[in-house]
Structure 1
């Protein structure tokens, strides 16, 4: 166990932590630091802030590190029993809550909330309780605790019972479902999720739309009172009031610009140009093969573009980076396979000896992603539904010659970037194909002006400020 009991003044709780461990064949443990907004935020508050990060042991290496008592100062890693973790993480968080918030269910067949579900839900409760216990142990009196995301929806209320002296915040990184969809959940489960977050003093969301949806669920399903105040909406339920806040996570412009001009990215640019051919326009997408990212419909729209606008044949390449995600779930494996099948079918249908219409890459390579960002003439970001979508914000920041952004109106980023993007209904193939044509033909001056405004909006709240703003609001 790392950390001194009742010592931390600032605590973060998340499923994935800032460090991970790998177990070598020789039995040696090696650690690797992660990045992201929370890491930046905790770094920004300084080493004397007495902060602790509570996270889960995800890998075998992580679990071995916990068993041996290996760790880093300021990190408390929890090793929940693997069957409990798998049921909580894959069974509930990723296969129920994620599906509800992203409106992904095919309702004639799913969801089915049977006895297997009830067993998984008990594991989700136990997983959240383990976090609440660890936070209660680590926190100094009156400390500020910031709980992250849908994996830990129940933690605020559980922690409130254990430590009513704490200032507790929760931040949701996903969209929030509207009441009619959220109530697909069993009534008791829906109440427990909403009530769990309402255990916080403050609940944060990426956009006003998601915050309003949460408030509507509380009002409709719980009978809670929603009040609008000068400081923002408040939800009152069972005698407690939770303030709602909006913090639109932005791109880390300084990091991206520096990282995008390192030698390894220059090497990837040369390689991509060789693969796509000189002088061709590039439509770029960079995504995980997550069901909500809508990669298949993006490929269908590109095929429609080649059908409707034959003048683009041999003049454009769709560079699609689709990095595998959640491959331990059969539905995700099937989706990944469909992405590969459709890309191959488009190349077979339209390709010529000197031109592959689609360049699909499935091996994760951050330097290559940045190279594609820099080269993109068009960025295609068409999720079915997304809490924010940082790719939409990152591409304009590092673009070499200006980029046209084709952006789903269902992405959270659309609230900030919609005026300078080309908006699409993510389900409409014909309209998305037309938007791609518009983007490809955008005049240079218009493209440059839009890119500048998109980059400015995208970096308005960089990760460190995003975290510090939440902390300030919670402590204020």
Structure 2
């Protein structure tokens, strides 16, 4: 169980054997566990910017990653190891996994982080009906506090004197303030991977909770964001609700894609195999004999990704421009996300319904206008990247959106990019993308037509500039820049 709130007294550093000079805290760690039928545990390592970033500081650095147990396998690993995982499972990385009580974790993660904070920062509420903050939410908020407190205590326990601590995202917004009270000697940074809500929308939150979240992040020496727009929104909220940001420095680090990894991984045998299958599904036009053009999107079925309006825009394209019939295929990968929440299950069902409606309305015996896949398959995603003529990235709101930064790097055809102006990536890539209002399906359909019709030389030149912008700050440098800035304070 999560412990009771600690006293305000400082927690002494852990014994020398376990002290770390660099610490990362995030909800999800670099490894997950599954319990087999025979009771043995199997581990699976993950990837992403934090994994790449930590590797960049070198194996000799004294670093530890603090994360939460997400499922039964993780909790069993914590039970067997005391939470300090076997380096053989983590690629040599020191990891401390927290066995937070399942009911506390569920309330904090599903009730507050994903059903409240995510909705606020992505402007997803249907405000005539939601949100409604009553006694049930206050109980969930108490779990969110306990969950954050567990992280703060673990970090205080693991950190050496004066260590640098990089706390990640909206799940852990209270950690910097709690950790500051326990260990004022530490250098603390917080990084937000989501957008930040404008003041008027942020004030949907109960007043006391809105202020508590801001004060939590301002417990850090440095609060950083993916774009200047999100940083300015945070500053505006602090100014409006608290009178300013105090002594906390504000930074911007626009996470880019890892070009070397993507290009190498995209040409492995499993990707080549999937390209063969995708090419068969895309096919050739029965009237011209040419390979059909492809509009590619790869997303989780997350409400903010705007998949349904993307499909409706494609339908509008086919209705307004019949010359594209039998000559284009929308390759749409919509991988289920957060299916334990009813609103996400309903959204996933709507994605499938609209896909079927488009294929029923326009499809022929030899042409399926939409090729939809819902089972997560990274190799297949990379295969689609390679085949993309047009990338469609139209989120309602997104902190960055790495898909927009990955497809131009991998595409073999020099793809055009149709990009929502509400994606953080638009700040760096908007000049060479075709920008769209994510709510305007007619304008998005027009942009798709323009992208499909773009002369090859123009598309190729735009794609080169898009790829350069996408890789300007790869994950390793993104992480090191934050660490350097924090240590310099």
CA 1:304–1:3 in 2, change beyond 3 Å: closer, same or farther? farther
Match of 2:292 in 1: 280
Q: Is the 8 A contact 1:4 1:138 kept in 2?
A: no
Q: Is the 8 A contact 1:23 1:29 kept in 2?
A: yes
Q: Does 1:185 align with 2:205?
A: yes
Q: Is the 8 A contact 1:5 1:139 kept in 2?
A: no
Mapped to 1, the partners of 2:85 and 2:72 lie a distance apart of 14
How far apart are 1:30 and its partner, in Å?
A: 1.1
How far apart are 1:3 and its partner, in Å?
A: 9.4
Runs of 4+ with >6 A deviation = 2-5
Instruction: Tell me the alpha carbon deviations over residues 173-216 of structure 1, each in whole angstroms, 9 at most, x when there is no partner.
Output: 00000000000000000001000000000001000000000000
Instruction: Tell me the alpha carbon deviations over residues 212-255 of structure 1, each in whole angstroms, 9 at most, x when there is no partner.
Output: 0000000011122xxxxxxxxxx21xxxx000000000000000
CA 1:209–1:3 in 2, change beyond 3 Å: closer, same or farther? farther
How far apart are 1:72 and its partner, in Å?
A: 2.7
How far apart are 1:265 and its partner, in Å?
A: 0.8
Q: Is the 8 A contact 1:144 1:474 kept in 2?
A: yes
Match of 1:227 in 2: none
TM-score after normalising by structure 1: 0.96
CA 1:430–1:128 in 2, change beyond 3 Å: closer, same or farther? same
Q: Does 1:469 align with 2:466?
A: no
Structure 2 residue aligned with 1:213, among 230, 233, 237? 233
How far apart are 1:4 and its partner, in Å?
A: 6.3
Mapped to 2, the partners of 1:262 and 1:128 lie a distance apart of 41
Mapped to 2, the partners of 1:150 and 1:128 lie a distance apart of 11
Which aligned pairs between 1:423-462 and structure 2 lie closer than 5 A?
Answer: 423-462=435-474
Mapped to 2, the partners of 1:308 and 1:63 lie a distance apart of 54
Mapped to 1, the partners of 2:178 and 2:18 lie a distance apart of 17
CA 1:4–1:406 in 2, change beyond 3 Å: closer, same or farther? farther
Q: Is the 8 A contact 1:8 1:50 kept in 2?
A: yes
Mapped to 1, the partners of 2:137 and 2:472 lie a distance apart of 41
Mapped to 2, the partners of 1:72 and 1:459 lie a distance apart of 33
How far apart are 1:46 and its partner, in Å?
A: 1.1
Match of 1:407 in 2: 419
Mapped to 2, the partners of 1:471 and 1:223 lie a distance apart of 28
Structure 2 residue aligned with 1:72, among 64, 86, 104? 86
Match of 2:145 in 1: 125
Q: Does 1:245 align with 2:265?
A: no
CA 1:169–1:404 in 2, change beyond 3 Å: closer, same or farther? same
Instruction: Tell me the alpha carbon deviations over residues 143-202 of structure 1, each in whole angstroms, 9 at most, x when there is no partner.
Output: 000000000000000000000000000000000000000000000000010000000000
Match of 1:332 in 2: 344
**What's the secondary structure of 1:287's corresponding residue?**
strand
Mapped to 2, the partners of 1:134 and 1:68 lie a distance apart of 18
Mapped to 2, the partners of 1:159 and 1:4 lie a distance apart of 19
Structure 1 stretches of 5 or more lacking a match?
A: 225-234
Match of 1:305 in 2: 317
Mapped to 2, the partners of 1:473 and 1:33 lie a distance apart of 29
Match of 1:149 in 2: 169
Q: Does 1:39 align with 2:51?
A: yes
TM-score after normalising by structure 2: 0.93
Structure 2 stretches of 5 or more lacking a match?
A: 1-13, 88-93, 285-290
**What's the secondary structure of 2:431's corresponding residue?**
helix
Mapped to 2, the partners of 1:121 and 1:458 lie a distance apart of 37
My pick for the range that moved more, 372-381 or 69-78, is: 69-78
**What's the secondary structure of 1:353's corresponding residue?**
coil
Match of 2:41 in 1: 29
**What's the secondary structure of 1:419's corresponding residue?**
coil
Instruction: Tell me the alpha carbon deviations over residues 382-428 of structure 1, each in whole angstroms, 9 at most, x when there is no partner.
Output: 00000000000000001101100000000000000000000000000
Q: Is the 8 A contact 1:351 1:357 kept in 2?
A: yes
Match of 1:261 in 2: 267
* Count of equivalent residues: 461
My pick for the range that moved more, 379-388 or 33-42, is: 33-42
**What's the secondary structure of 1:466's corresponding residue?**
helix
**What's the secondary structure of 1:184's corresponding residue?**
coil
Structure 2 residue aligned with 1:367, among 364, 371, 379? 379
Mapped to 1, the partners of 2:263 and 2:418 lie a distance apart of 22
How far apart are 1:367 and its partner, in Å?
A: 0.6
**What's the secondary structure of 2:337's corresponding residue?**
coil
Structure 2 residue aligned with 1:314, among 326, 347, 350? 326
Q: Is the 8 A contact 1:3 1:52 kept in 2?
A: no
